[in-house]
Amino acid sequence: MSYVHFGGKLLEKTITLALLVGFSFQIHAKEGMWLPPTLRQREADMKAMGLEIPIDKLYNADGTGLNNAVVLFGKGCTGEIISGKGLVLTNHHCGYGTVQGLSSKENDYFAQGFFAMNPGEEIPCPGLTVTFIRKMENVSDLILFNLPDTLREAQRDSIIYGRVKALEKGYRYTTKMDAVIKPYFNGNQYWVIISETFSDIRLVGFPPNGIGQFGGDTDNWMWPRHTGDFSMFRVYAGKDNKPAAYAKENKPYQTNNYFSINTGGYKEGDFTMVYGFPGSTQEYIASSQLNQVYSIVDPIRISIRTKKLDVWTRHMAADRDVFLKYTSKRAGVANGWKKWQGEVRGLSINDVVAKKQNYEAEFQAWASSEGSLPYADDLLSHITAQTEQVNPRLQAEIIIQEAALGIEAIQQAATLDKMLQTMRAHIPSGKLTDSLKKLAASLDGFYKNYDAATDRDVFLELMPVYLNAQNHVAAPSVIKSFAAYGKDTRLWANDIYGISMIADQQKLRQFVNAAEAKDSLRILSDPAWRLYNDIATYRKTTLAPALSEFSNSMNYYNRLYIKARMKKDWNTNFYPDANLTLRLAYGKVEGMDPDGPAPYSYQTNLDEAIAKDNPEVEEFRVPQKLKNLYNKKDYGRWAVNGTVPLAFIATNHTSGGNSGSPVLNAKGQLIGTNFDRVWEGTMSDYYFDPKLCRNITLDIRYTLFIIEKFGGAGWLLKEMKLVK
């Protein structure tokens, strides 16, 4: 899909949607991702919208708050504890990478699914972690004491670093738990986060792709949605119920803090909350910085990833082994690719750059008369000038990242470079061999999910993008090498994928097993390393200095800009950008247009999913067992009006990282699992439009239906607390 031209039908839909939502009903969206300890400041508003439980129930430091039932799942998702035995519910796509590592041709969990029939069948998940947040405390006064606002970043960062490390050490000593101090509001606030991380995590339930990834890329980020996007794991602990390394004798984590599950459903207008770990937002950047995203970064990424995904899809469709190797990688690449398309559309529909420019005119007038912040007057002029100056370098960097380094063999040649540096380090022969073997072993996971023939076709697609880019994107040495191959990328590819060690794990192993220091010449002649080195050298000498200087300047000016905005806008809906720390958002169940046609309703169901079944298209292939349940109307206690509720949308402000977040009702009971946003509102990382921004939630009743009736794992429901 092109990033600059939207086809007639899509454009017509965009205009129609804009008109529908523009003349819609009263909006109950609530922008904001709030730090749990600050919720008391939101209490009146939350109660007015429908909250029925005390704020202290949502968060407290005495160990009884619902914050103890929300977990950071892995490194970038959210999960929730749904039983007293450490049962974790999260998204299917959050467990995808872990399950890929557990899958094989014999145990193809993507095709067959997996549900443990008893605790003994739960599968250990090496490398997976679950983190509980026990307490958050504002330590800004201790970190920022006696630091002038305009102190330059290098000196300021050095002072703050020392204070942070000392204070973290003190918290770890007194709490006997993990402690990390993180910045908020661009470094104008600091909070300490006390946590516990468990590393013995085991797979409990994982529906097949025909449920958990139903709709695939076509439906990703879209509404209506029919994806059963959930998976289940269990936290195991040592004898003292504390974190422990995997051991067969470990027991399920025992806790009194878990979510009760409301099976009574919801209706449009009901109060909802999303508790989780939103990853990254930039709500307060200046118009010139937003224009970088809108005009440069997103369009480049979309265009190049389109080519890459086309190649991967073709090879995956032709070979099941390639499918298993690339399915998780493809999902990750495609997720951003489609999200950015929606982001560009949303920013365009809302004319957000112009809106920011209007706000900046207002800010400038305020800053000119604000005597307490004398530096505020010229902040925006500095930000704009430096942003526009760096744009050509930024464009080059993004093209290199997505095109040249989007080729796996070139990206992984970085390991050959590490081997080269090791061989030049004059270390003893025995130690050299050991070091090289460790570097080679670090690529085992890469090779497990790598196909050289697929990557070769990616090379043929993406290298011309890199070579033909304007504004001196390609390194002169790379252009020279291209000329040496007669400007024929196929000849170049023949060398890289026929000769290079990085494209063949067996060649790499043979090399490291016998390599001596003098054999570094072998790396110097490796075609993949030579291309990687030319690109890396150009980035280091030409691009990195300008981008680093820009980053440092923006850190300084953005910190001061947010400081000024905190003074000007604090009494408005002002909250810190997301940074993968615990937040709570709230809103209401609300369709895009309840009076409009069916696609704009607030809820979907199983009947609609079955209607989409297409055995010829993998992403719309409904498992036969689910179709059998549908044909018999064998829904058990999960039937509602002759079907099973599947997903719903609400007005909560979410972001990446909120995948798997518990979606709660007014009583703090679980009614679903957050898994996406609507495409029209993906620009909410930069701008929240209450007419377009909706989070998509998997109805907990559909989850329980799949567990019990499809998975046959009804034993799991017995440990949950189900209420109506």
Asked if residues 650 and 28 have their Cβ atoms less than 8 Å apart, the reply is: no
Give the end of a domain, one of 148, 171, 194: 194
Structure tokens at 526: 């490796």
Give CA 379 to chain center in angstroms.
Answer: 31
- Domain range for 501 is 350-556
Q: Do 386 and 460 fall within a single domain?
A: yes
Tokens representing 11 are 């454009």
State the pLDDT at residue 2: 26
Residues 169 and 100 reside in one and the same domain: no
Whole-number Å distance between alpha carbons of 624 and 629: 9
Nearest to 110 by CA among 389, 410, 427, 330: 330
Domain closes at, from 194, 212, 232: 194
| Structure confidence at residue 600 (pLDDT) | 66
In this structure, which amino acid lies at residue 204? V
**Under 8 Å between Cβ of 588 and 651:** yes
| The predicted structure's pLDDT at residue 11 | 29
Listed residue (240, 226, 62, 185) closest to 135, CA to CA: 62
* Residue 707 near residue 212, CB atoms below 8 Å: no
Residue 617 in contact with residue 538, Cβ under 8 Å?
no
* 121 shares a domain with 153: no
In the chain, which stretches have pLDDT less than 70? 1-29, 593-600
* 155 belongs to a structural domain: yes
Q: Return the residue matching tokens 């750059």.
A: 353
Question: Active site residue: 200, 219, 229, 699, which one?
Answer: 229
Give yes or no for a contact between 21 and 592, defined as CB atoms under 8 angstroms apart. Answer: yes
Tell me the H-state helices in 539-588: 544-569
**Residues 125 and 155 both lie in one domain:** no
Residue 305 lies in a domain: no
Whether residue 659 lies in the annotated active site: yes
Among 299, 283, 395, 399, residue whose Cα is nearest residue 344: 299
354 and 457 belong to one structural domain: yes
Neighbour tally for 379: CB within 10 Å = 25
In a domain, 141, yes or no: yes
Three-state SS sequence of 365-387: HHHHCCCCCHHHHHHHHHHHHHH
Considering the domain architecture, whether residues 623 and 522 belong to the same structural domain is answered as no
Q: Which residues contact 249 (CB under 8 A, 6 or more apart)?
A: none
pTM score, whole prediction = 0.87
Catalytic residue among 288, 659, 661, 684: 659
On whether residue 344 sits in a domain, the answer given is no
The pLDDT, as a whole number, for residue 598 is 53
The answer to whether the CB of 297 falls within 8 A of the CB of 339 is no
- What does the alpha-carbon distance between residue 106 and residue 279 come to, in Å, rounded to a whole number? 36
What Cα–Cα distance (Å) separates residue 584 from each residue in 35, 190, 294, 526, 580?
Answer: 7, 18, 28, 51, 12
Distance CA 446, CA 508 (A): 13
| 170 plus 108 within the same structural domain | no
Q: Does some domain include residue 567? A: no
| CA–CA separation, 78 and 91 (whole Å) | 8
Residue 304 lies in a domain: no
Among 556, 591, 619, give the residue marking a domain's end: 556
Same-domain check for residues 471 and 603: no
Tell me: do 467 and 515 sit in the same domain: yes
CATH number, position 55: 2.40.10.120
CA 34 to chain centre: 19
Shared domain for 391 and 529, answered yes or no, is yes
Q: In this structure, are 545 and 625 located in the same domain?
A: no
Q: Is residue 315 among the annotated active site residues?
A: no
Best CA proximity match to 655, nearest among 631, 642, 637, 674: 674
In a domain, 22, yes or no: no
Whether 317 maps to a domain, the answer reads no
What's the domain count of the chain?
A: 3
Catalytic residue among 28, 92, 93, 315: 93
d(CA 635, CA 629): 7
Residue 623, SS3? Answer: coil
Q: Are residues 445 and 532 in the same domain?
A: yes
Whole-angstrom distance, CA of residue 590 vs CA of residue 603: 9
